A and B are shown apart, each in its own frame.
Chain A
């Protein structure tokens, strides 16, 4: 999606009603973000939109120098966290993990394929009962994720996340089939969106 470098366009301030709407959809999409929401979107600061090519848009705070928060492919598509936000609040988003061999492909923009997740180094969610949602010590998410859900991609042996995307196959399906694409068009470390600087 953002393989090429982007040129920043001017920020546009959003109406407060739209800001409220975004805030609500964030909370609905990422329930685990709730404890942090006031830090992500402080009540006083206002939200700005930066338009990107292909009808995508990026949301940032009005305060200069603040890191980007969320992006969206088109209106109505799920909000996805920018990787810098994921790094700040790693526990607020559902994750899967890829093995070491897959990292370099993901970081050059390849589609994430199932074998990178099903191998010993990868981690797919393992449902647990009666526990709160979150990661266990091994890096398994506590709930099966469905097709179309946003997911953060961690990497074997690394602390920080390396990509963010939308699942094109549910995690259950991935476990069953063990092949085929899992996340397409992800936002990864070092892509155009990552390198985008706003002034």
Chain B
């Protein structure tokens, strides 16, 4: 009943829009996947999700029909071009994966005053996250102040008020699945801060 009703109300007498399937890998309509550079992956995706379409687009006859209209030379050139593009896309992907594997998120607990702490999170930008948005999320989640601040060595970090280092780790792992657990590092900055303060006081 429930899913019949809205249909009645929303169905106008006019022609409806078409629903177009887009490739889950390269976002183009599947028939254009061959120009995307991630052909292999697109094919796998299509075969899994829309087998009927896969049959239509990548069947032997369809491919033959597609290439027969081109001259031999043009075919060769197109093939070379496609290969180059694929290689480029692959290289970019590898680089990205490499970068993610090597970048580390540091969660630092800094003593601000005897029993008061702030938590600084750095290295999130390597995972393609928008620091400003993440900071807002932290603030909402922990109901504390949370801001993006510049660090003297260049770059930015998120500073959250209060000692929430463990919670942040949990939250990050849960919300942003592409951050591996091993890449999160917890640091306690108590001593370093004290030493620095002492040094500053001494000097």
Contact = CB atoms under 8 A, between A and B. Distances in A.
A100 B26 contact: no
Interface size bucket, A side? 20 to 34
Contact of B28 (A99, A101, A104, A189): A189
Contacts of A84: 20
Contact of A39 (B17, B19, B69): B17
Counting chain B CB atoms within 10 Å of each CB, the highest count among A84, A159, A189 belongs to A189
A103 B34 CA distance: 11
Given A36-B17, A89-B18, A156 B29 contact: no
Interface size bucket, B side? 20 to 34
A194 B65 contact: no
Contacts of B20: 84, 87-88, 160
A107 B29 CA distance: 12
Contacts of B171: none
Interface string B1-43: 0000000000010111111100000111101100110000000
Nearest to B31: A158
Contacts of A89: 17-18
B173 interface: no
A190 B27 contact: yes
Given A35-B14, A104-B35, A190 B26 contact: yes
A104 B16 CA distance: 31
A160 B33 CA distance: 12
A99 B78 CA distance: 14
B32 A189 contact: yes
A5 to B, nearest CB: 12
A190 B22 CA distance: 11
B74 interface: yes
A79 interface: no
8 tightest A-B CB contacts, nearest first:
A88-B17, A87-B20, A160-B29, A107-B35, A189-B28, A158-B31, A104-B35, A101-B74
Interface of B: 12, 14-20, 26-29, 31-32, 35-36, 65-66, 69-70, 74, 78, 81-82
Interface of A: 35-36, 38-39, 84, 87-90, 99-101, 103-104, 107, 120-121, 156-160, 162, 189-190, 194-195
9 contacts: A35-B15, A100-B69, A103-B32, A104-B82, A107-B35, A157-B66, A160-B32, A189-B29, A190-B28
Given A87-B29, A159-B31, 6 more contacts: A35-B14, A101-B70, A101-B78, A107-B35, A157-B69, A158-B32
